[in-house]
Structure 1
Amino acid sequence: MRGGASVCATTPTSTGRGGPRGETVSTQGPRESIPEASVGVLNEPNSTLLEYIAEAFIAFDSAGRFTYVNPEAERILERPRETLLGRVVWDVFPEVRGSVFEHHYQLVLANRQPLMYEARLGRRGPWLEVRVYPRPDGIGVFLRDITARKQSEEALRLRDRALAASHSGILITDALLEDNPIIYCNPAFERITGYTADEVLGRNSLFLHGHDTDPEVRESIRQAMRQGQPFTGTILNYRKDGTPFWSELAISPIRDESGRVTHFVGVMCDVTEQRRALEAMRFQAHLLNIVDQAVIAVDGQGMIRYWNQYAEQLYGWSAAEVLGTNARDIILPDSATADTKKILMHLRDGRRWSGEFMVRRRDGTIFPVFVTTYPIFDEAGEVAGMVGVAVDISDRKRLEAQLIHAQRMESVGRLAGGVAHDFNNLLTAIAGYTSVIEAMLPPNHPVLEDVQALQQVAHRAGHLTRQLLAFARKQTMEPVPLNLNDLVADLGPIFRRLLSEEIELIVHPAPDLGVVRADPVQLEQVLVNLVVNARDAMPAGGKLTIETANVTIGLPDAERHIDLAPGNYVLITVSDTGSGMSPAVKEHAFEPFFTTKEEGRGTGLGLSTCYGVVKQHGGHIWFYSEEGYGTTFKIYLPRSDEQPGARAEQEARDALPVGSETVLVVEDEEMLRAIAARTLRSLGYTVYEAGSGDEALAIASTVWVDLLLTDVVMPQMRGDALAEQLQARLPHTKGRLRSGNTDAVPFKHLTRRTKR
């Protein structure tokens, strides 16, 4: 039998009923259960009918010898009948000894009652339904192959076990009944919903829905079931205790042979925790996308795994374009090798790293970022990647450069102002003494021309000191409400005389231009300097454009310039189409005595004067220049609410006034004090001299003083402090403060005590 396998199971087990071992599914004893047709042929073993029936039939005598084997039995036993007839079954199939077959064989012989049972032919053989009948000289056995039925039954049992073991909730509804009632639910459905099977069977599944269940999803489910179509989606349901839960729901129709929908099977998975986790991830992703920082994650091979929206803006690549690519190929320039090694060294040690880093945009431009890298660890604690958070510091670097430049200019300004102040004192003495000598000489004196030449030299030197003082923002200002359109119009003839015929002058005055409070003489000097520079940059001709405009500087624009505050400004722009400046020239453009002109054509004080004047007015000067394309200067001056008045014409100088009052001259520089005293005495004044504040107070306590003329910056006691004390003692005494350093003069003294 199939390579030595027994008719029954070769590994028999206890029947639980005290009989021999065997794999028996069921047994039947009553004769009435045996088909009459089969009984009718038992006594006719050679019947032709047995040769052609679909069942296998075997006849045994009381000694267990084969007396008949039909063709179907030959097939099942896999032995030709010639090898079986007349032989004892235990000899042919020794493994049958002690099997369920022997048990039933002996039982039927003893009881003379038919039996039916099911057994498997070997471990992997077919399942058989075995019917055993008593015969006068032995027994007859019918065998029917029930493997297909057993497989179907096992599949059904497996299905039931699978449904019961599934973690997904499963329910089946009857589509042929009006309300689609539930006819089955598995244990997982009970566990997810909190309802028992008895509580849900016969009900429509809509009872799981609640007030927050999306009505559109509910309608989609109804529509799909009405049309016999599948449905897949996420829906909010409610448990028995009223708590909501999200479920992924898949509904499929079941059809009969004719295609009619008879049932629906629904599979639900509780995805509440997954949905919460997903919402948390989405919220975290949203947070990462709204920050003004580029957040990038790479794996251990340097492949980009995360790229937030700001990274897209900063580097110019979309996330879809870079995910899965190597970060080195996307954002790291060749020059970043050293910095990359530093980062990798920290990552190997599981440490974070922070520092400045040069990166590359999609268009190839290189720019600085401040980046902090954090290692990513796997479950084993090994470094598996990195998260980098980068901030564009281009603006910060630009502001730092502006700050350094402003500090350098401030230092140079202090030096220039100090030198100019001391130099101006010397020039004052020279000019004063030459004026005295000139007044003493007759018109035809041979030395007169030399004295006048000295005065001209002193005047030219004084002009240089005034430029230095302008750069150092230490010139005395006489600001008035001013319309820059009027200033430009008044300077028009001067500009045209300065420019060659090859240079076209274009003026675009803005209508309704705002008013600034400024010193017109100093602003004239600024504009003339810029026009002269533009002229020198266009030796072959070109265009010079002067424009005015009202502008409002907002906070974003102000933050790009270290010394520009938000507010309303009047803008004047001077542009040329000349040769432009190189980066090296632009770096030093505002520094005093820096010039690119040949010797004798410039002092290098033109732009530094412009810088100082604009700054002293509380404004901002900025320029853009590119070699071969020209230069544009922009000057921002704070807008004023005052109305401009008529510009006063310069008063003609009259002869110095004479007088007889008493003047107290206080100056720590002996040379300046002497020339001032001598000049005043020549005009008829009575003059007392003092080299310090204490000495002046001592003199004033003994003599009548009509006017105090004092320097401001002096050792031991300042001039303004001296004036305060002297006026407290002598209210009738007037005070006049003088200084080559405007920063040293308190504003209240410039406005209250400058009249004689």
Structure 2
Amino acid sequence: MDAHMNSSSQRYNRYAILKIIGIYIFFGVLWIYFSDTILAWLVRDANLMTYVQISKGILFILITASLLYVLIHTYVDQLMRMNRTLQEREILLHSIATNIPGVAYQFIATDTGTCNVSYVSEKLTETFGLSTELDTFFPSFSDHVVEEDRSRFLDSLREAVVSGTPWRFEGRFVRPDGEPLWFQAIATPKRDGPSILYHGVLLDITERKRAEEDLRRLNFAIERAAESVLITDPNGVIQYVNPAFEKVTGYSRSETIGRTPSLLKSGVQDHSFYENLWKTLKSGVIWSGRITNRRKDGKLIQADSTISPLLTSAGELTGYIALNRDITEAVKLETMLRQAQKMEAIGTLAGGIAHDFNNILSAMMGYAELARFRTTDPQIQPYLEQILKACERSRDLVKQILTFSRRREQEMKPMAVTPVVREVMQLLRSSIPSTVEIRTSFETPHDTVLADPTQIHQVLMNLCTNALHAMRDREGVLDVRLGRQVLTAQSPVFDPGLKEGPYLQMVVSDTGEGIDPAVRDKIFDPFFTTKASGEGTGLGLSVVYGIVKDHGGMIHVESEPGKGTAFTIHLPLLDAEKKWEGPEMALIPEGTGHILYVDDEEPIASLGWEMLTSLGYDVAVRLSSLDALEAFRANPQGYDLVITDMTMPNMTGARLAGEMLKIRPDLPVILTTGFSERMDREEAQKLGCRDFLMKPVSLGDLARAVKRALEKGSEPAER
């Protein structure tokens, strides 16, 4: 840089001196020529001519001296001003070179490709840790360029110098202290005669490279994120969407960019919702919440959304960014969980009251059966029949409560569903008004599922009863269809808890009044009903839901107000087709033998004595398990059978049976209970009991259970 300034100064000095000499010669020639010509014309006297010539010479000397003074003074003044300007420029350029973020340098390149460095700023030492000696600049710098980049560095410099074109290079550098960094070399040529003068700068771009790498990683993460990302300008016009957005919404990037997010509006949120959203964003605050959008195919999607204003460091708004996490499936799972929790809660309540309620029903049903069994009065029989029907309805109500809470023992067996459908339709025909048409369709020959026949019957009865109720004031059609459908994870109606495979599809539809969308999500809730007071318990659909779930299936509803409702049930199909046949009815058997009957509730104990003695048995009753054990120990062989309740104070029926079986292992024992979470037929048989009965027990069921237990027993007991 100094050499370039000195060269310019030297050229100016040479030009100024030549200018003075030229002016002096030109003026001298003009003076001599014109003065002699004029004098020769004016002066004829030789003596006067001599005097005039002397005066002319003196005048020439004075004039030329004055002229030289003016020229030299002007030159010196201009030279001083030029030097001051050069000094000021040098100071300015040095200040610029010192304060720019990079290292300023200058070199002269020849046609042969050699580079003579004429200037390097002091920042070379600060930035790159190298000496500012001009002769060693390029060799020293290239030695610290990373080996993988060094040949490219030298080749690019040589190519630029030879061709006289601008030079630009990015590469990696290692300082003498071992610190790595990225650099950028830039140089611009200016031809100066046979050589080319290059002015350039070396920049430390390490931070820029890190930022570029961070930006690349961020872009990689956004492009592969599961959450959809949407970026708009300040006016809400979409500038960018990531692939997750395309996948979730169904809109491609080309279909989205240039439009506004309103293309996703579902209509679920009202105008005030969006007004509040924009008010929050325009105040510079991040908005977070749950929003329902609509896919391109029309399906609704729910998302947890966070929308943030994008601001520059100066606080200027440049746009908005929205991050949306698709929670559609999570919301479905939450709904299923809440439904399951409701079922569990009501099931806990059911278990708490079932035992006592069944004991009450046992007394009512038992004594009514005894009265009907013993009376022949035709006027009394109808009243007893009504009492028994009420007891049976109460018993079924408890069973329904225990069914949806999965607290009732199930008898799962391979069964064909078609006969059950035909049976239910036959039962309903007598009570269906003539304004309702019944249609059935059996579209699959394979309808065998693993199920409890009684519960499948109950599901169909509940659904068909609800359908008939929906058409009670109008003409309509009750349609029941059976079909086969293979469900996979991609099926529209597939629940996460199901297994993939073939399913029996059972559809019960009606053309009734439909279900209000506002209550559609509540129809499977326990005790929820839209019927008038006294028309329903609100347990029908809860029971259906519990049974279907307990059979490894699913149920969903489609309804349109004023047009009707369709319930669709899917149950896993079995590979083998096995037809189920119902149990054969049998007469109430009587018998003889000595039975020890144990129950802590006196009405139930008295009822047991009445029922068993009416069948011909000799019965001893104990109201305490401890008293019963003491009586048995006194005469173990005096009893042919023991019937004991499960839930009793001091000692449970299971423990009592165990103590008795220790004394007499061949003793037939029947265990009964109104309700128990831990005890069922399988557990009772593991304890050594012959049978297990759930209260309330009818006279016929009790008679058959006693007969079976005694037939497997030993000889009659010694009295």
The alpha-carbon distance between structure 1 residues 375 and 439, as it changes in their structure 2 partners (threshold 3 A), is same
In the TM superposition, what whole-angstrom CA distance separates every residue of 1:622-648 from its partner, at most 9, and x where no partner exists?
4454546755545566899xx768445
Task: Look up the match of 1:522.
Answer: 455
The alpha-carbon distance between structure 1 residues 751 and 519, as it changes in their structure 2 partners (threshold 3 A), is farther
Secondary structure of the equivalent of 1:118? helix
Secondary structure of the equivalent of 1:701? helix
In the TM superposition, what whole-angstrom CA distance separates every residue of 1:214-257 from its partner, at most 9, and x where no partner exists?
98898777776676554545333455666543223334444578
- Return the alpha-carbon distance in structure 1 between the equivalents of residues 359 and 107 of structure 2: 109
The alpha-carbon distance between structure 1 residues 400 and 449, as it changes in their structure 2 partners (threshold 3 A), is closer
The alpha-carbon distance between structure 1 residues 695 and 291, as it changes in their structure 2 partners (threshold 3 A), is farther
Question: TM-score normalised to the size of structure 2?
Answer: 0.66
Equivalent positions of 1:74-153 (< 5 A) are: 118-120=75-77, 127=78
Task: Look up the match of 1:692.
Answer: 624
CA apart distance, 1:552: 6.2
Asked if 2 retains the 8 angstrom alpha-carbon contact of 1:590 and 1:608, the reply is yes
- Match for 1:38: what amino acid? Y
The alpha-carbon distance between structure 1 residues 41 and 265, as it changes in their structure 2 partners (threshold 3 A), is closer
Asked if 2 retains the 8 angstrom alpha-carbon contact of 1:359 and 1:369, the reply is yes
CA apart distance, 1:45: 5.6
Asked if 2 retains the 8 angstrom alpha-carbon contact of 1:666 and 1:711, the reply is yes
Q: Paired residue for 1:489, among 415, 418, 421?
A: 418
Task: Look up the match of 1:210.
Answer: 146
Task: Look up the match of 2:183.
Answer: 247
CA apart distance, 1:599: 8.3
- Match for 1:519: what amino acid? D
- Match for 1:488: what amino acid? V
Secondary structure of the equivalent of 1:726? helix
In the TM superposition, what whole-angstrom CA distance separates every residue of 1:271-322 from its partner, at most 9, and x where no partner exists?
11332244345546766777767899999x9999999969968999989769
The alpha-carbon distance between structure 1 residues 245 and 471, as it changes in their structure 2 partners (threshold 3 A), is closer
Asked if 1 retains the 8 angstrom alpha-carbon contact of 2:594 and 2:641, the reply is yes
- Return the alpha-carbon distance in structure 2 between the equivalents of residues 360 and 552 of structure 1: 26
Between the aligned residues of both structures, percent identity stands at 24
Asked if 1 retains the 8 angstrom alpha-carbon contact of 2:343 and 2:404, the reply is no
| Residue 24 of structure 2 is aligned to residue 38 of structure 1 | yes
Task: Look up the match of 1:236.
Answer: 172
Q: Paired residue for 1:169, among 103, 110, 125?
A: 103
The alpha-carbon distance between structure 1 residues 336 and 160, as it changes in their structure 2 partners (threshold 3 A), is closer
Secondary structure of the equivalent of 2:416? helix
- Match for 1:529: what amino acid? N
Secondary structure of the equivalent of 2:669? strand
Secondary structure of the equivalent of 2:666? coil
CA apart distance, 1:713: 2.5
- Match for 2:419: what amino acid? D
- Return the alpha-carbon distance in structure 1 between the equivalents of residues 30 and 284 of structure 2: 96
- Return the alpha-carbon distance in structure 2 between the equivalents of residues 215 and 271 of structure 1: 20
The alpha-carbon distance between structure 1 residues 663 and 229, as it changes in their structure 2 partners (threshold 3 A), is farther
Asked if 2 retains the 8 angstrom alpha-carbon contact of 1:173 and 1:180, the reply is no
- Return the alpha-carbon distance in structure 2 between the equivalents of residues 164 and 466 of structure 1: 93
Q: Paired residue for 1:606, among 537, 540, 552?
A: 540
| Residue 417 of structure 2 is aligned to residue 479 of structure 1 | no
| Residue 120 of structure 2 is aligned to residue 186 of structure 1 | yes
- Pairwise CA RMSD: 6.1
The alpha-carbon distance between structure 1 residues 742 and 387, as it changes in their structure 2 partners (threshold 3 A), is same
| Residue 403 of structure 2 is aligned to residue 467 of structure 1 | no
Higher relative contact order (CA 8 A, sep 6+): 2
The alpha-carbon distance between structure 1 residues 199 and 208, as it changes in their structure 2 partners (threshold 3 A), is farther
Which stretch of the first structure deviates more once superposed, 743-752 or 224-233? 224-233
Asked if 2 retains the 8 angstrom alpha-carbon contact of 1:473 and 1:615, the reply is no
Task: Look up the match of 1:674.
Answer: 606
Asked if 1 retains the 8 angstrom alpha-carbon contact of 2:524 and 2:542, the reply is yes
The alpha-carbon distance between structure 1 residues 297 and 701, as it changes in their structure 2 partners (threshold 3 A), is same
The alpha-carbon distance between structure 1 residues 494 and 667, as it changes in their structure 2 partners (threshold 3 A), is same
Task: Look up the match of 2:582.
Answer: 650
Asked if 2 retains the 8 angstrom alpha-carbon contact of 1:333 and 1:360, the reply is no
The alpha-carbon distance between structure 1 residues 211 and 750, as it changes in their structure 2 partners (threshold 3 A), is farther
The unaligned stretches of length 5 or more in structure 2 are 1-10, 36-55, 263-268, 430-435, 692-708, 710-719
CA apart distance, 1:66: 8.8
- Return the alpha-carbon distance in structure 2 between the equivalents of residues 700 and 250 of structure 1: 109
Task: Look up the match of 2:44.
Answer: none
The alpha-carbon distance between structure 1 residues 295 and 41, as it changes in their structure 2 partners (threshold 3 A), is closer
- Return the alpha-carbon distance in structure 2 between the equivalents of residues 658 and 267 of structure 1: 115
In the TM superposition, what whole-angstrom CA distance separates every residue of 1:598-620 from its partner, at most 9, and x where no partner exists?
78976654322212323444665
- Return the alpha-carbon distance in structure 1 between the equivalents of residues 96 and 282 of structure 2: 51
| Residue 674 of structure 2 is aligned to residue 717 of structure 1 | no
- Match for 2:171: what amino acid? I
Task: Look up the match of 1:87.
Answer: none
- Return the alpha-carbon distance in structure 1 between the equivalents of residues 192 and 442 of structure 2: 92
Q: Paired residue for 2:642, among 694, 700, 708?
A: 708
Asked if 2 retains the 8 angstrom alpha-carbon contact of 1:294 and 1:308, the reply is yes
In the TM superposition, what whole-angstrom CA distance separates every residue of 1:353-373 from its partner, at most 9, and x where no partner exists?
9x9745575889896748799
Q: Paired residue for 1:505, among 426, 430, 441?
A: 441
- Return the alpha-carbon distance in structure 2 between the equivalents of residues 466 and 324 of structure 1: 53
Asked if 2 retains the 8 angstrom alpha-carbon contact of 1:45 and 1:68, the reply is no
CA apart distance, 1:663: 1.7
Asked if 2 retains the 8 angstrom alpha-carbon contact of 1:298 and 1:304, the reply is yes
Task: Look up the match of 2:367.
Answer: 433
Secondary structure of the equivalent of 1:717? coil
- Return the alpha-carbon distance in structure 1 between the equivalents of residues 339 and 188 of structure 2: 75
Secondary structure of the equivalent of 1:247? strand
- Return the alpha-carbon distance in structure 2 between the equivalents of residues 653 and 333 of structure 1: 66
- Return the alpha-carbon distance in structure 2 between the equivalents of residues 655 and 586 of structure 1: 47
Equivalent positions of 1:240-639 (< 5 A) are: 244-255=180-191, 262=196, 265-280=199-214, 282-283=216-217, 334-335=272-273, 357=289, 359=291, 369=304, 402-416=336-350, 422-441=356-375, 447-448=380-381, 450-452=383-385, 454-480=387-413, 482=414, 487-491=416-420, 493-494=422-423, 503=439, 505=441, 507=443, 517-531=450-464, 533=466, 539-541=475-477, 545-549=481-485, 551=487, 565=497, 571-575=503-507, 576=509, 578=511, 580-591=514-525, 594-596=528-530, 604-617=538-551, 621-627=555-561, 631=565, 633=567, 635=569
Asked if 2 retains the 8 angstrom alpha-carbon contact of 1:529 and 1:607, the reply is yes
Which stretch of the first structure deviates more once superposed, 387-396 or 489-498? 387-396
How many residues align structurally?
632
In the TM superposition, what whole-angstrom CA distance separates every residue of 1:317-368 from its partner, at most 9, and x where no partner exists?
989769999xxxxx99624888999999998xxxxx9x97455758898967
- Return the alpha-carbon distance in structure 1 between the equivalents of residues 184 and 478 of structure 2: 75
Asked if 2 retains the 8 angstrom alpha-carbon contact of 1:166 and 1:188, the reply is no
- Match for 2:418: what amino acid? A
The alpha-carbon distance between structure 1 residues 290 and 379, as it changes in their structure 2 partners (threshold 3 A), is same
In the TM superposition, what whole-angstrom CA distance separates every residue of 1:569-618 from its partner, at most 9, and x where no partner exists?
76554444745421343244224565445789766543222123234446
CA apart distance, 1:738: 1.7
Secondary structure of the equivalent of 1:268? strand
Asked if 1 retains the 8 angstrom alpha-carbon contact of 2:593 and 2:640, the reply is yes
- Return the alpha-carbon distance in structure 1 between the equivalents of residues 188 and 245 of structure 2: 43
